[in-house]
Amino acid sequence: RRIAKACETNILFMSVSGDIQPHYTSIAGFVAKMHEQIEPIFTQVLMICDEEDLIGRNMFAIDGCKLKSNASKEWSGTFDELGRKKAKLERASKRIIERHQSQDGLGEELITQDLKQKEKLDKSADKITEFLATHEEKTGSKGKPVKSNITDPDSAKMTTSKGTIQGYNGIAINDDKHQIILQAQAWGSVGEQQTLQPAVAQLKQQLAKLNTEKMADEHTIKFTADSGFNSEVNLEFMAQSGFDTYIADNQFRKRNPLFKASETYETEQEKRRLKRSKGKPRLFTSDDFHYNDATQTCRCPAGNAMWRSGVNVNSHSQQYTRFCGYLRDCKTCPLQQQCMRKPPIKTGRQVQFINNESRKKLSYIDKMKVKIDSPIGRR
C-alpha cells in the first residue's frame, strides 16, 4: 500500500513505474508470484553497479530494522498455546448449543445472533486445526518452542523501542563506497543476532557472481556491525570468515578514555538509566563486593559474610565462582533497595566473579574487546 501510494506522490517512484499508478494488489501479486525472479535481477543490477566501479569492496556494514507485518498478535502462540485456544473456542461453541437446548423459548433474533457467534467460533477453531496440521512448530536458538502466527506463519513477535510487534527483522549488508546494498532479506523466525551467519554466507555468494578480478583479498576487507550482533558464536564464525571484523560490545564506550572525561556522557547515561528504572537507585555490581581470591571468601557492601554457592560455574564461555547472601541477612539489610530489585523470598543476593584460570583463556568476545579498544578499532 505504501509503494502504491508513493507511485502517486513520489517523483522517484513515478519515474520507476513509468508514471503508472498500480493498485496495491497488483504490487502484492507481483511480489508473491515473481519472488524467484527477483533475486537474479537483483544480482544483475549489482553486476552493472560493479562494471560502473560503484562497489569498492573495502568495507561492508550490516544492520537491521524491525518491519511490522500485516498480522494480528492475537493469532500468535506456541503449538501448545494454540491448542488451548482451540479447546477454549470449542467449549464456547458448545455452550451456545447447550443454552439453546435448555431454553426453548429464546427469541428468533437472539437465536440468529447466537448462531452467527457459533459459526465465527467454529471457523476460528477450524483455522487453528488446519494450521496445526499443516505446519511444524518453530524452535528458538536454545531449542525451546517459539510463537507462530496463523495469519503470517513466517513472522514472529518482536520487542522494539515502541513496544511488541508481529513482524520481521529486515537485514541489509552494504558497501561503503556508494552505499550499494549487496545483500538484503527479511527474517521472521530468528532474532537479529542469529541472522549474521546466513547473511554473510549470502554476501559471499553474491560477491562470487561479481567480477572476481576486482576482488580484493578478503583479509583486507573490513566488516562492521553494531553491538546487537555481538556474541561468542558470531565472533567465532567471523574469525573464520576471512573478513577483518569489528563488532563492538555494548560496554565499549565505558572503556573509552574520551567518554570517561565527559560529564555530558555520564549525565545522559544516568538520565537514560533513571528513565528505564523509573527513578530507582543504581544497584550494587560485583565491583562493590569484597572478594578474596586467595581465601575464596566474599563479603557484601553491608559487611555480611556470604556463602560460596558454586565453583567453576560456566557462563558466556567463561568460568565463575558464585556467592550467595544469607537470607536472614538480606531480609533485614538496610542496603536492600540498593542491592536487590525485589525483596528476597527464597534466596539472598547472588554475585559471581570470574576465575583466574578462566581469565587466561581469552574468548572471542575478549579478543574483540582488545581489537575495538585499539586506536584503529575505535576509528
Residue 216: its pLDDT value, please? 56
The range of the structural domain enclosing residue 314 comes to 286-360
> What does the DSSP assignment read for 291-353?
EETTTTEEE-TTS-EEEEEEEEEEETTEEEEEEEE-HHHHHT-TTHHHH-SS--SSS--EEEE
Are 41 and 20 contained in the same domain? no
Contacts 24+ apart (CB under 8 A), 151-157: 151/70, 151/71, 151/72, 151/75, 152/69, 152/70, 152/71, 152/188, 154/188, 154/189, 155/69, 155/71, 155/188, 156/188, 156/189, 156/190, 157/73, 157/76
Residue 96 C-alpha cell reads as: 451456545
181: three-class secondary structure by DSSP: strand
Do 26 and 57 have their domain in common? no
Please report whether residue 236 resides in a domain.
Answer: yes
Q: Per the domain annotation, does 159 fall within a domain? A: yes
The pLDDT value given to residue 242: 85
Helix (H) or strand (E) holding 7: helix 2-9
Q: What three-state secondary structure class fits 9?
A: helix
Rg (CA), the chain: 28
Return the number of other C-beta atoms located less than 10 Å from residue 343's C-beta: 9
Structural domains counted in the chain? 4
263, part of any domain: no
Q: Measure the CA–CA gap between 75 and 131, rounded to whole angstroms.
A: 11
- 92 and 185 co-located in one domain: no
Q: At residue 187, what is the residue type?
A: W
| Statement: the pTM of the whole predicted model exceeds 0.95 | no
Q: Quick check: is 270 in a domain?
A: no
| Angstrom distance (rounded) from CA 314 to CA 321 | 9
Instruction: Please tell me the distance from the alpha carbon of residue 70 to that of residue 342, in angstroms, as a whole number.
Output: 38
Smallest Cα–Cα separation from 158: which of 128, 196, 133, 186? 186
Same-domain pairing of 158 and 17: no
Quick one: 61 and 175 in the same domain? yes
Residues 157 and 226 in one domain: yes
Residues 59 and 191 in one domain: yes
d(CA 58, CA 177): 8
Please give the pLDDT value at position 278. Answer: 72
Pairing of strands 350-354, 318-325: antiparallel
**Which domain CATH number covers 231?**
3.30.420
Which pLDDT score is estimated for 214? Answer: 60
Pick the last residue of a domain from 191, 221, 247: 247
Q: Which residues contact 339 (CB under 8 A, 6 or more apart)?
A: 283, 284, 300, 301, 302, 330, 333, 349
At residue 13, the pLDDT reads: 94
Q: What is the pLDDT of residue 213?
A: 66
**Residues 63, 181 within the same domain:** yes
- Residue 172 in any domain: the answer is yes
* pLDDT at residue 115, as a whole number: 80
pLDDT given for residue 10 in this prediction: 95
Instruction: Say if 269 falls within a structural domain.
Output: no
Residue 258 counted as domain residue: no
Q: How many CA atoms lie within 13 A of 161 on its CB side?
A: 1
Q: What pLDDT score does 217 carry?
A: 59
Same structural domain, 325 and 187: no
Q: Say whether both 29 and 39 belong to one domain.
A: no
Q: Are strands 59-68 and 222-225 parallel, antiparallel or unpaired?
A: parallel
Residues 122, 194 within the same domain:
no
Q: Is there a domain that residue 374 lies in?
A: no
pLDDT in tens, the chain (379 residues): 999 999 999 999 999 999 899 999 999 898 888 888 888 888 899 999 988 989 988 999 999 988 888 777 778 788 888 888 888 888 888 888 777 777 666 677 777 787 888 888 888 888 888 888 888 777 766 677 777 788 887 888 787 777 888 888 899 999 999 999 999 988 886 678 888 999 999 999 888 888 666 655 556 889 999 998 998 889 999 988 888 899 999 888 888 887 777 777 777 777 777 777 776 767 888 888 888 888 889 988 888 899 998 888 877 667 888 999 999 889 888 888 888 888 888 889 999 888 766 555 678 888 898 889 888 888 8
Both 336 and 314 in one domain: the answer is yes
